[in-house]
Amino acid sequence: MTANINKLARKNIQTLNPYQSARRIGGQGDTWLNANESPISVSFKARIECFNRYPECQPNDLVSSYANYVGLSNSQILVTRGADEGIELLIKAFCKPGEDAIIYCPPTYDMYAINAKIADVAIKEIPTFKNTWQIDLFNINLNLEKVKLIYICNPNNPTGNIISKRDLKSLLKITLGRSLVVIDEAYIEFSPKNSMVNSLKEFPNLIILRTLSKAFALAGIRCGFTLATEEVINILNTVISPYPISTIVTDIAVQSLEKKAIEDMRNRVLTLNMNRIWLVDELKKISYVKKVFDSHANYILVKFYMFEKIFQSLWEKGIILRNQDHKNNLKNCLRISIGSNAECIHLVKELKNLSKI
């Protein structure tokens, strides 16, 4: 007897291609430069010892700590299981399946479209301009019908560029009263002056996503934040699960937002930004590097001659990069996360060896 369980799954799930996370793709590496994680680990010990009670839905200490870090009030903050949960909750709360739509601007982070597909919400793709990777305001404006959410990633993953603040403000003005603009600031600590946090008081349709996974070096604990007006946060609080943040996660996250830990984070960012500048310089000297795109985050997008061979050869040597060749306007491109000093040196050495063959 065959049960044919697959046929029971919703149609949009049967054909869904799940997110190809670095951990899912696998590989046998010792130099992981494919997930934009921090190469440096931070060390915290749990302070709490009792786990028999459920946690608060929104742990008050953690909300206060993050509010203090970003200069907002507690009522403007939602703690989530990574920024990824924020992306999902927004669609759940604001988009009606089969009726509403989201806009996203590829090449960018895949999870906006994947979450829309899972929810059976229509996706309007408005690609950014090739090579400048700025948003196409004109075409976004023409396509706003039924659009509840517009996802913009800033700095953009995987291109590394900053979206112009003027464009973002224009977008917020155009869409006021019609759609919400979600700015994913997962990498903003690497370029803090470009944050839109200060625009929250001006634009009630602005929503910002943040995470502890990148600059804070805590991808393993799964903790993120949604910043918005109190009204939006209240709506999200009606759809979030009752106990989304475990007691252990809150314990570690609160410690990571203490004064000294934030100083350490800022020093890590300085080191990684310096490593990036060094790596960009070195890559530009290598003959089969066609183009290195300017980056304001802890990764760089690089266009190669013979990208396939380079990707494979490095993979076999245990250096795992992220292939971007399949994405809009990113033919022959690889994304390289900025590693430790030793990892950057190792990568450049192997690339130089390859150019001798």
Ligand X SMILES: *Cc1c(COP(=O)(O)O)cnc(C)c1O
Q: Which residue in 55, 107, 160, 224 binds ligand X (CB under 6 A)? A: 224
Q: Is 301 within 8 Å of 158 (Cβ atoms)?
A: yes
d(CA 215, CA 223): 12
Coil, strand, or helix at residue 107? Answer: coil
Q: What is the DSSP string of 7-73?
A: HHS-HHHHT------HHHH----SEE-SS---SS-----------SSPPPSS-HHHHHHHHHHHT--
Under rule CB under 6 A, how many of the chain's residues touch ligand X?
13
Site string for ligand X, 8-47 (x = CB under 6 A): ----------------------------x-----------
Q: Which residue in 84, 88, 282, 343 binds ligand X (CB under 6 A)? A: 84
Is the Cβ of residue 35 or residue 176 nearer to ligand X in the bound state? 35
Question: Which range of residues in 78-86, 271-279, 286-294, 314-322 is near ligand X by CB under 6 A?
Answer: 78-86
d(CA 175, CA 177): 6
Alpha helices in the chain (DSSP H): 5-8, 11-14, 22-25, 60-70, 82-94, 111-118, 137-142, 165-175, 230-239, 247-256, 259-284, 307-316, 341-356
Q: Is 112 within 8 Å of 91 (Cβ atoms)?
A: no
d(CA 30, CA 320): 8
Q: Which residue in 88, 100, 110, 184 binds ligand X (CB under 6 A)? A: 184
Q: Which residue in 82, 107, 244, 339 binds ligand X (CB under 6 A)? A: 82
| Smallest gap from residue 43 Cβ to ligand X (A) | 19
- What are the φ/ψ torsions at residue 58 (nearest 5 degrees)? -125, 95
Q: Is 62 within 8 Å of 254 (Cβ atoms)?
A: yes
Q: Is 179 in the site for ligand X (CB under 6 A)?
A: no
Q: Is 336 in the site for ligand X (CB under 6 A)?
A: no
Is the Cβ of residue 191 or residue 213 nearer to ligand X in the bound state? 213
Q: Is 76 in the site for ligand X (CB under 6 A)?
A: no
Q: Which residue in 219, 261, 348, 354 binds ligand X (CB under 6 A)? A: 219
| Smallest gap from residue 77 Cβ to ligand X (A) | 15
Report the residue number whose CB is nearest to ligand X: 82
Q: Which residue in 38, 211, 275, 295 binds ligand X (CB under 6 A)? A: 211
Question: Which range of residues in 166-174, 211-219, 251-259, 342-350 is near ligand X by CB under 6 A?
Answer: 211-219
Q: Is 100 in the site for ligand X (CB under 6 A)?
A: no
> Counting Cβ atoms within 10 Å, is residue 127 exposed (0-12), middle (13-18) or buried (19+)?
middle
Q: Is 247 within 8 Å of 25 (Cβ atoms)?
A: no
State both tokens at 52.
């028999």
Indicate the helix (H) or strand (E) that contains 123.
strand 122-125
Is the Cβ of residue 154 or residue 179 nearer to ligand X in the bound state? 154
Is the Cβ of residue 100 or residue 110 nearer to ligand X in the bound state? 110
Is the Cβ of residue 152 or residue 347 nearer to ligand X in the bound state? 152
Interaction site with ligand X (CB under 6 A) = 36, 82-84, 109, 153, 157, 184, 186, 211, 213, 219, 224
